[in-house]
Structure 1
């Protein structure tokens, strides 16, 4: 097995670990009432770090699969990197807006923030499934 393929597998595992770690970390954050600006800032910061880490690991995965000659898997990793960018541009500003509304005591913002948090988790779970599927397909 060429060195590029070992690197691709290593980066895929890093992407898997990054995604799984942040899912396991974000689900317990649902315990928070999301009723204080501190809760909103913390959850927002957590997802911001995840989206940056996901972009970096997905990009490295894409490059390594491209070098290993696995164009389909490289394209899949590029899609994951682009999803991370798109979600960061969509979810983070939404959390910022809702967090400001929570600070202004706009109580309808709390369910909106919670809903945004849950949607972000569900998307991350879908990404995890895609990553695991790609690992399974490597074995074939």
Structure 2
């Protein structure tokens, strides 16, 4: 058995834990009214940390799978890292922009911020489902 399998398994479990943890942590944050700058900053920071963790674990998984010779899984993991990078580049600045509008008591900004928050969690759920499903397809 090739030694890269250990890295692949480690990073796959780390990706599963990271994704599940942030999904479970992000859902209760939807209870927040998002009407104060502190709420918006906390949620934005929460997702910023998640996207960084998802990028690191997905890249680690991609490299490990490539070294193991499981190129389909490597491409899939690299895709997850790319999605995390793209979402971080798009959603974090959007949340920051809306945070400034929330400070001005803009109800529409609060609604849009909540929509971004919910959409980010939905993407997180889909990612978790894909990772769980793909691990069921992995034969050692």
Superposition TM-score, scaled by structure 2 size: 0.97
Find the counterpart in structure 2 of residue 124 from structure 1.
124
CA distance in 1, matches of 2:29, 2:139: 35
Q: Does 1:92 align with 2:72?
A: no
Q: Let me know the Cα RMSD of the aligned residues.
A: 0.9
CA distance in 2, matches of 1:24, 1:61: 22
Superposition TM-score, scaled by structure 1 size: 0.97
Find the counterpart in structure 1 of residue 36 from structure 2.
36
Secondary structure at 1:124's aligned position in 2? Answer: helix
Per-residue Cα deviation, 1:39-84 (whole angstroms, up to 9, x for no partner): 0000000000000000000000000000000000000000000000
CA distance in 2, matches of 1:19, 1:137: 19
Aligned residue pairs, count: 140
CA distance in 2, matches of 1:34, 1:139: 44
Find the counterpart in structure 2 of residue 50 from structure 1.
50
Poorly superposed stretches of 4+, deviation over 4 Å = none
CA distance in 1, matches of 2:31, 2:120: 15
Find the counterpart in structure 2 of residue 60 from structure 1.
60
Find the counterpart in structure 1 of residue 12 from structure 2.
12
Find the counterpart in structure 2 of residue 134 from structure 1.
134
Name stretches of at least 5 consecutive residues in structure 2 with no aligned partner: none
CA distance in 1, matches of 2:65, 2:32: 39
Name stretches of at least 5 consecutive residues in structure 1 with no aligned partner: none
Per-residue Cα deviation, 1:102-132 (whole angstroms, up to 9, x for no partner): 0011121111100000000000000001100
Q: How does 1:107-122 map to 2 (within 5 A)?
A: 107-122=107-122
Per-residue Cα deviation, 1:71-100 (whole angstroms, up to 9, x for no partner): 000000000000000000111011001111
